């Protein structure tokens, strides 16, 4: 063998062995010499994953993956002298650049630093590891979860606001683009820009922020969206790094707001350190030739499905530049699960959104969910389930279905009430199964969920056309959509800019990921202020703000029951109610004015004589029929 050195941008030397026809003696001598040189040159480059842990965690048995040039070549034995820390197992990866150490931490282990030393001088230099004290405020200031009492705001950090122009480009990173006229280059938005506008968000009524992934995306192109992760333990420096992310978490919690992290288990960027230098061959799924996932979720629960179809769906790559991780590999599974727990503790995360949920190995996902909830019982987990069918969506979350596999995922992103609910309600003519009847029928099938109030409902997101464009830029339909979002069951999520009627179709997706006007110094318009908004934008903004803030203190809308009445000639009426409050929601999806027959809804109107319009304050008598203009939604708080 001959050992060639391939330098990587992060300074780690990738060792590649090439088989040649040397004698055994010459090969052995050459290997020893080269390994000695590599160890001397790379002694300071050994990395620990995770880089530290905490005392008092329920998860007190961790696998530390060490990565450095040839550190495992001579299979050195680790030595740790620290009370309460025991090396339980040592494994040497096929790639000599990796060692796995399983550490057992005693329940009473004290915070402190220690060294992982080795048995001989020829082995790697000692590596420092730290046991940190846990936060005293967990469950109060973080890991609180999100619920139907919250209002989530989804942000693409690169496109929201640039608060620190000094980190727009970071030397040494592969993507040096910075061009706001391009849909796919970086624009410079960062975490400081989000912190700068927390007043705006809180005034709007937002209680929780979900950011598209903020972890390092050191790839050559398309690094703006965050889903090409290249290091799970680094926050992207162009967003401000870990310090900025922690500042955002602290700032949110000081305001009584919450942080949702976007997690990606299924795939990584193709320049991730453990892709460029794989610990072993089956770290990712390999095929004889490139194989893409089919994106066909129904094979996973189809009782008649072919195993080959299931394999292609689960193990095929999401894109050619996103290697598909093999979660059956125990070290891959350990790495991902530990990183999830580490991130919640390190950054003070309150909820966990899981990208491309159904493309993961589902048994692995159950393990990961269980580990997170064991450590943080109040944490809410919801997975992206962009599928076409209510049975499928129900299958992937906690459900009442009689099926062999039982998911333990508490919630999902509710694509069904979006694609087959509110969108047809506002875009299709009324019919037996069309128009607003689609919304009614979709909600009627909540019967399969264990708890439908834990689903995240939405109008649009970073992958879908914006709702304002979908409804033909009809302002009243936009307001009806927002009215439904903030009054239906579930956890409402608003995509950034929907409140100021940002528009765009996904052709391509960059058109729905445009900059928030006013988020950059020198922007011609600043939509963060009333002065910068047009009259129409201000109307929609105030409609959203008024209802969102009313919702904060409305027990009926946040935790009450839902009763819906079958639509009648495009008129859809439903109620949110509990023992303290009743809210009547009337959605007229016809272009013409409609009369509300009060007697039709006597089941829920008994005991009430009037309704106060949440937006206008006007009183409507319930002793007689009343009218609702075309394409309008009226929300009434009922009074005796």
Give the architecture (CATH level 2) of 152-270+328-552.
Answer: Alpha-Beta Barrel (3.20)
In angstroms, the CA 54 to CA 346 distance is 10
Residue 246, judged by CB atoms within 10 A of its CB (0-12, 13-18, 19+), counts as: middle
pLDDT at 120: 73
pLDDT at 7: 33
Q: Report the percentage of the chain scoring pLDDT > 90.
A: 90
Question: β-strand 351-354 against 258-263: which pairing, if any?
Answer: parallel
As a whole number, the mean pLDDT across the chain is: 92
Question: Tens digits of per-residue pLDDT, 317-333?
Answer: 999 999 999 999 999 99
Question: Is the model more confident about 26 or about 147?
Answer: 147
In angstroms, the CA 72 to CA 94 distance is 9
Look at 4-18, 106-120, 170-184, 363-377 and tell me which has the smallest mean pLDDT: 4-18
Question: Tens digits of per-residue pLDDT, 71-91?
Answer: 999 999 999 999 999 999 999
In angstroms, the CA 536 to CA 473 distance is 11
Task: Tell me how many helices (H) and strands (E) the chain has.
Answer: 17, 28
In angstroms, the CA 98 to CA 24 distance is 25
Question: Tens digits of per-residue pLDDT, 562-589?
Answer: 999 999 999 999 999 999 999 999 999 9
Say if residue 196's pLDDT is above 60. Answer: yes
pLDDT at 24: 41
Query: CB–CB of 99/90 below 8 Å?
Result: yes
C-alpha distance from residue 423 to each of 196, 357, 436, 496, 558 (Å): 33, 23, 9, 18, 23
Residue 210 forms beta bridges with which residues? Answer: 154, 260
List, as one string, the DSSP characters of 422-478: IHHHHHS---SSSTHHHHHHHHHGGGGBS-GGGSEEES--TTS--HHHHTTT-HHHH
Q: Report the percentage of the chain scoring pLDDT > 70.
A: 92
Question: Is the model more confident about 283 or about 15?
Answer: 283
The Cα diameter of the chain in Å comes to 101
pLDDT at 6: 29
560-639 shares the fold of 152-270+328-552: no
Question: Tens digits of per-residue pLDDT, 87-146?
Answer: 999 999 999 999 999 999 999 999 999 999 998 767 778 999 999 999 876 556 899 999
Highest CATH level, class, for 2-132? mainly beta
Question: Tens digits of per-residue pLDDT, 513-544?
Answer: 999 999 999 999 999 999 999 999 999 999 99
Phi and psi angles of residue 430, each rounded to the nearest 5 degrees, phi first:
-65, 135
Those residues with Cβ within 8 angstroms of residue 451's Cβ, 6 or more apart along the chain or in another chain: 398, 410, 411
Say if residue 457's pLDDT is above 80. Answer: yes
In angstroms, the CA 559 to CA 547 distance is 16
Question: Tens digits of per-residue pLDDT, 463-519?
Answer: 999 999 999 999 999 999 999 999 999 999 999 999 999 999 999 999 999 999 999
Question: Tens digits of per-residue pLDDT, 201-214?
Answer: 999 999 999 999 99
Domain boundaries, the chain: 2-132, 152-270+328-552, 560-639
Q: Coil, strand, or helix at residue 466?
A: coil
CA 476 to chain centre: 30
Phi and psi angles of residue 454, each rounded to the nearest 5 degrees, phi first:
-95, 0
- Pick from 237, 215, 253, 254: which is nearest to 348 by CA? 253
C-alpha distance from residue 276 to each of 263, 503, 635 (Å): 21, 39, 56
Catalytic residue numbers read 355, 384
In angstroms, the CA 217 to CA 212 distance is 12
Q: How confident is the model at residue 45 (pLDDT cuts 50, 70, 90)?
A: confident
Q: CATH homologous superfamily of domain 560-639?
A: Golgi alpha-mannosidase II (2.60.40.1180)
């Amino acid at each position: 063998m001959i050992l060639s050195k391939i330098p990587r941008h992060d300074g780690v030397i990738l060792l590649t062995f090439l088989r040649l026809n040397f004698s055994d003696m010459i090969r052995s001598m050459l290997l020893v010499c080269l390994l000695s040189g590599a160890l001397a040159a790379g002694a300071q480059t050994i990395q620990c994953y995770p880089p530290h842990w905490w005392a008092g965690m329920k998860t007190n048995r961790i696998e530390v993956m060490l990565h450095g040039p040839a550190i495992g070549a001579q299979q050195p034995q680790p030595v740790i002298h620290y009370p309460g820390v025991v090396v339980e197992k040592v494994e040497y990866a096929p790639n000599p650049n990796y060692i796995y150490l399983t550490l057992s931490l005693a329940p009473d282990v004290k915070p402190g630093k220690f060294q992982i030393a080795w048995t001989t001088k020829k082995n790697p230099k000692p590596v420092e590891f730290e046991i940190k004290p846990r936060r005293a405020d967990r469950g109060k200031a973080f890991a609180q979860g999100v619920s139907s009492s919250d209002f989530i705001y989804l942000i693409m950090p690169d496109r929201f606001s640039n608060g620190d122009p000094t980190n727009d480009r970071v030397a040494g990173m592969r993507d040096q683009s910075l061009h706001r006229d391009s849909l796919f280059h970086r624009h410079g938005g960062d975490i400081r820009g989000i912190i700068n506008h927390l007043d705006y968000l809180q005034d709007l009524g937002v209680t929780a922020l979900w950011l598209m992934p903020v972890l390092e995306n050191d790839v050559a192109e398309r690094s703006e969206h965050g889903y090409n992760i290249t290091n799970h333990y680094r926050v992207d420096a162009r967003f401000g790094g870990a310090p900025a992310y922690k500042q955002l978490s602290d700032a949110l919690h000081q305001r009584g707001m919450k942080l949702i992290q976007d997690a990606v288990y299924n795939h990584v960027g193709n320049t991730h350190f453990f892709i460029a230098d794989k610990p072993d061959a089956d770290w990712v799924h390999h095929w004889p030739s490139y194989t893409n996932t089919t994106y066909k979720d129904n094979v996973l629960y189809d009782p008649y499905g072919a195993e080959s179809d299931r394999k292609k769906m689960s193990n095929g790559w999401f894109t050619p530049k996103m290697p598909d991780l093999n979660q059956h590999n125990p070290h891959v599974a350990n790495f991902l699960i530990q990183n999830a727990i580490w991130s919640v503790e390190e950054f003070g995360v309150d909820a966990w959104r899981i990208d491309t949920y159904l493309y993961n190995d589902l048994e692995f996902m159950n393990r990961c969910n269980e580990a997170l909830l064991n450590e943080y019982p109040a944490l809410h987990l919801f997975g992206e389930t962009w599928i076409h069918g209510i049975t499928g969506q129900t299958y992937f979350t906690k459900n009442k279905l009689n099926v062999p596999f039982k998911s333990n995922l508490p919630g999902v992103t509710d694509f069904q009430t979006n694609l087959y609910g509110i969108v047809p309600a506002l875009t299709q003519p009324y019919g037996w199964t069309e128009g607003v009847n689609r919304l009614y029928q979709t909600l009627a099938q909540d019967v399969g969920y264990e708890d439908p109030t834990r689903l995240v409902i939405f109008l649009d997101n970073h992958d879908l056309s914006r709702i304002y464009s979908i409804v033909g830029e009809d302002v009243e339909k936009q307001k009806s959509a927002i009215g439904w979002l903030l009054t239906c069951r579930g956890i409402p999520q608003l995509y950034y800019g929907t409140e100021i009627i940002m528009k765009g179709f996904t052709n391509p997706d960059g058109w729905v990921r445009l900059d928030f006007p006013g988020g950059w110094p020198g922007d011609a318009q600043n939509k963060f202020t009333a002065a910068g908004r047009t009259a129409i934008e201000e109307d929609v903004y105030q409609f959203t703000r008024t209802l969102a803030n009313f919702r904060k203190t409305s027990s009926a809308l946040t935790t009450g029951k839902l009763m819906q009445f079958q639509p009648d000639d495009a008129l859809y009426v439903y109620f949110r109610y509990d023992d303290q409050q009743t809210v009547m929601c009337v959605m007229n999806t016809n272009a013409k004015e409609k009369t509300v027959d009060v007697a039709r809804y006597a089941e829920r109107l008994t005991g009430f004589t009037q309704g106060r319009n949440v937006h206008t304050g006007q009183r409507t008598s319930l002793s007689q029929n009343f009218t609702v203009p075309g394409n309008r939604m009226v929300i009434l708080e009922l009074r005796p």
